[in-house]
Amino acid sequence: MRFPKSFLERQAEAARLRQALADSWAARVLEPIEGLDEGPEAQEAENFEKDEPPKEELDWLAEVQKEANSEFLRLQQLEKTEASLSARLKQVSEEKAELQSARVDFEDAGSALREAIASQSEGFIRRVGGLENARRTADQDRVKLIQECADMQARLDALAPELEGLDDVEGRHAGLQAAQKVLSQQSERLRDMNAALGVQLLADKGGLDAGNMEPVAEAVFRAVQLQQKLQKRLLEQDKEREDLSSRIRDLERGGIHQYERPPDQAGKALPSGPPGTLTALRGGLGRILNKV
């Protein structure tokens, strides 16, 4: 604790005066011993002169003593204040220690919170990057889909004329199926007629001679050739029918391949008489050869 400079100066002055007073009293005690040979009257006069200090000095000494007492009281008050301030300082030091401990805890919590925020930020950054990549991929896919839609629309526009002619194709297909059915029925009918005629012919002539075998063989050869031609024609019809069916299915599914029109063979009318006749002839000749 620091004291005022004036107080220290007064304390030093008071100590100096006390020392001077003590020295003066000591000198008075020693002087009677040295002046034993002198008379009692002289000693008394001398002692009276020495015992009587100046009035100004006494007043000054009283004033200094009063100031010293006041300074002493002030010093006590300052000591009490110092004690209270020391207690307050101790309390503040304890509070400071608690605050420092709380500060350390807050710093640790802040560090952990910053690490958590940094980790979450990194996760969010990665997520944003993934979302950006997904958006770019979606944009590319959307562009591709738009292009594919445009291509499909163009192909659909190109197929529109062919789709308009689909009814004609279906009509041709139905006509070919009906023609095939009629030919099959006619072939069966002619086979039956040929069989009946062959039986009637053999019953009338009573069999074939050996000299008539050559015409029969020639007729059989012709019948075989006609049968091959008929088979070829039937195969061509079947192929054309399959092509038409495939084309119809492609058009129904919205196919994208360009349709190449097959050769127009449906316009060629099949002779109703000769194929059925050849089939009947083949059946009758087969029966004749078996009997021979």
**How far out from the chain centre does Cα 108 lie?**
33
How far apart CA 206 and CA 226 sit, in angstroms, is 28
Number of domains in the chain: 2
For residue 218, pLDDT over 80 is answered with no
Residues 149-172 pLDDT 10s: 999 888 888 877 777 777 777 788
Distance in angstroms between the alpha carbons of the first and the last residue of the chain = 159
Paired tokens of 10: 């007064």
Q: Are residues 84 and 194 in the same domain?
A: no
pLDDT at 140: 94
pLDDT at 19: 76
Tell me which residue range forms the domain holding 22: 5-107
Q: Are residues 179 and 103 in the same domain?
A: no
pLDDT at 33: 45
How far apart CA 143 and CA 136 sit, in angstroms, is 11
pLDDT at 260: 43
pLDDT at 99: 92
Indicate the average pLDDT of the chain.
71
Q: Which of 107, 128, 148 is the last residue of a domain?
A: 107
Question: Which residue has better confidence, 195 or 62?
Answer: 62
Rg (CA), the chain: 74
Whether 102 is in a domain gets the answer yes
Whether 127 is in a domain gets the answer no
Report the pLDDT averaged over residues 175-194. Answer: 79
Rounded to two decimals, what is the model's pTM?
A: 0.29
pLDDT at 74: 81
Whether 25 is in a domain gets the answer yes
Q: Which residue pairs, CB below 8 angstroms and at least 24 apart, start in 86-89?
A: none
Whether 53 is in a domain gets the answer yes
DSSP state letters, 48-117: HHHH---HHHHHHHHHHHHHHHHHHHHHHHHHHHHHHHHHHHHHHHHHHHHHHHHHHHHHHHHHHHHHHH
Q: Are residues 181 and 280 in the same domain?
A: yes
pLDDT at 143: 94
Whether 94 is in a domain gets the answer yes
Q: Are 234 and 179 in contact (CB under 8 A)?
A: no
Q: Which of 107, 124, 142 is the last residue of a domain?
A: 107
pLDDT at 275: 44
Whether 284 is in a domain gets the answer yes
Whether 235 is in a domain gets the answer yes
Q: Are residues 184 and 256 in the same domain?
A: yes
Whether 143 is in a domain gets the answer no
CA dihedral sign, ordered 160, 164, 167, 170: negative
Q: Are residues 83 and 176 in the same domain?
A: no
Q: Are residues 272 and 196 in the same domain?
A: yes
Site of tokens 């000198």: 27
Residues 66-105 pLDDT 10s: 877 787 888 788 888 888 888 998 999 999 999 999 999 9
Q: Which residue pairs, CB below 8 angstroms and at least 24 apart, start in 176-185?
A: 176/237, 176/240, 176/241, 176/244, 176/266, 177/241, 179/270, 180/237, 180/241, 182/272, 183/270, 183/272, 183/275, 183/276
